């Protein structure tokens, strides 16, 4: 799954792998994009700062803030892959997203203020985009920010805020012009999460963990100097920063290969019809199909990387990659659970659960990937419209209540 590898890139990979083995803060207990226990955060902050200091994060940043503009463009993908291969913690929060916005649109003062604190992990960032009625349709957001002198006063609610409970700063989108068209009148802000009026409420999920949060904003005052880019130009800021967040895709491919290896080990140890699962032809056929899809996923990642390098990216690349990965990830976890038979019904903390209940947790969490970043149903429509050029379905008139 490695693209256009060179001796220099392979040497870089070996260097990263050695660094991760020496400094990583242990293996993650759960699959997916999960929030760590509070007690782990000091170690993760230290680990993240070391990655920046070693030149493995912020590679594409301006040189004056520690970036290496002459680096191979695939180096960030290599770092993401090696962290995923070690099954350890990647940087927690939305710092990569926020830094992209700050580098492309932030003022010199903002860059000097925020970027060094991201490098030292003094500031963990969270993403304050989604709302109860603005998830896949982000432009429908309702959180309002009104100007009062040199401040903006913000009222509203955000939801699905990963790591909000650990965040020092928030990358916030709020509507500043209610009369503007849907994708206009939105402004991007850097929000201090300790401001009065910020209320973070963890959401307990079906997995039993609290990775996401609701964030209520009640009269929160943000200095006008914290506007990222121009007022009412936040949609462009957000879409640009989202478009630059690519390296995590590489990690997803490595994660699926790791889960496939676990599935093979599970099949070797789990009896099917009184004999090892891999002796059963139906089990082998099912795992073979999943393995083929894992390799297809890797090929899709390689194609997307190649197009990125050559400036030939297609509108549907990221959409198709996300859909394919999320559904394959679910099917791998689902088969691992079904392979266990009735043992798959054991709860995660049951001492008899296979692998400590990892498969149960992975299966429950796998549904999150089909919604996060846009529900797959919505993304399929976007593939049809943006990738295939199909016409939009005309709106059907509302039924006449008198009819």
260-318 tens-digit pLDDT: 999 999 999 998 888 888 999 999 999 999 999 999 999 998 898 888 888 898 888 88
**CA separation for the pair 247, 268 (Å, rounded):** 33
In 59-180, alpha helices (H): 75-85, 95-105, 108-119
Beta bridge partner(s), residue 89:
none
Which residues belong to the active site?
Answer: 245
Residue 258 clears pLDDT 80, i.e. is over it: yes
pLDDT band (50, 70, 90) for residue 1: very low
Alpha carbons within 13 A on the beta-carbon side of 313: 16
Q: Map residue 220 onto helix, strand or coil.
A: strand
Q: What is the structure's pLDDT at 55?
A: 96
Query: What is the arithmetic mean of pLDDT over 380-388?
Result: 90
**CA separation for the pair 166, 124 (Å, rounded):** 7
Q: What is the structure's pLDDT at 119?
A: 97
Catalogue the long-range contacts made by 368-374 (C-beta closer than 8 Å, 24 or more residues apart).
368/32, 368/33, 368/205, 369/32, 369/325, 369/326, 369/329, 369/330, 370/326, 370/327, 370/330, 371/135, 372/33, 372/160, 373/322, 374/135, 374/136, 374/319, 374/322
Query: What is the arithmetic mean of pLDDT over 371-394?
Result: 86
Cβ pair 176, 232 in contact under 8 A: yes
């Amino acid at each position: 799954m490695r693209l256009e590898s060179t001796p220099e890139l392979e040497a870089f990979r070996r260097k990263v792998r050695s660094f991760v083995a020496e400094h990583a803060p242990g293996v993650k207990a759960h699959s997916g994009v999960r929030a760590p226990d509070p007690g782990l955060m000091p170690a993760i902050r230290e680990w993240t700062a070391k990655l920046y200091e070693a030149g493995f994060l912020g590679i594409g940043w301006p040189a004056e803030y520690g970036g290496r503009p002459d680096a191979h463009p695939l180096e960030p993908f290599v770092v993401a892959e090696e962290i995923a291969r070690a099954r350890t913690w990647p940087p927690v929060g939305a710092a990569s997203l926020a830094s992209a916005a700050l580098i492309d649109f932030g003022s010199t003062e903002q860059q000097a203020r925020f970027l060094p604190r991201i490098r030292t992990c003094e500031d963990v960032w969270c993403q304050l985009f989604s709302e109860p009625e603005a998830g896949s349709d982000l432009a429908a957001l309702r959180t309002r920010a009104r100007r009062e002198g040199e401040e903006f006063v913000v009222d509203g609610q955000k939801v699905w805020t990963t790591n909000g409970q650990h965040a020092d700063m928030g990358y916030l989108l709020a509507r500043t012009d209610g009369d503007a068209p849907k994708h206009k009148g939105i402004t991007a802000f850097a929000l201090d999460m300790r401001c009065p009026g910020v209320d973070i409420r963890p959401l307990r999920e079906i997995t039993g963990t609290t990775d996401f949060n609701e964030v209520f904003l009640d009269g929160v005052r943000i200095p006008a100097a914290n506007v990222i880019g121009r007022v009412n130009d936040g949609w462009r800021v957000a879409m640009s920063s989202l478009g630059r967040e690519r390296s995590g895709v590489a990690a997803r491919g490595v994660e699926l290969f790791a889960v496939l290896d676990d599935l093979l080990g599970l099949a070797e140890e789990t009896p099917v019809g009184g004999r090892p699962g891999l002796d059963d032809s139906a089990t082998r056929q099912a795992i073979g199909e999943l393995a083929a899809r894992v390799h297809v996923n890797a090929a899709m990642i390689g194609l997307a990387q190649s197009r990125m390098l050559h400036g030939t990216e297609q509108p549907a690349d990221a959409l198709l990659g996300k859909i394919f990965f999320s559904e394959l990830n679910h099917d791998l976890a689902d088969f691992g659970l079904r392979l266990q038979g009735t043992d798959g019904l054991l709860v995660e903390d049951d001492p008899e659960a296979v692998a400590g209940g990892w498969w149960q947790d992975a299966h429950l969490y796998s549904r999150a990937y089909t919604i996060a970043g846009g529900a797959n149903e919505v993304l399929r429509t976007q593939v049809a419209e943006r990738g295939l050029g199909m016409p939009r379905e005309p709106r059907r008139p509302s039924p006449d209540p008198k009819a």
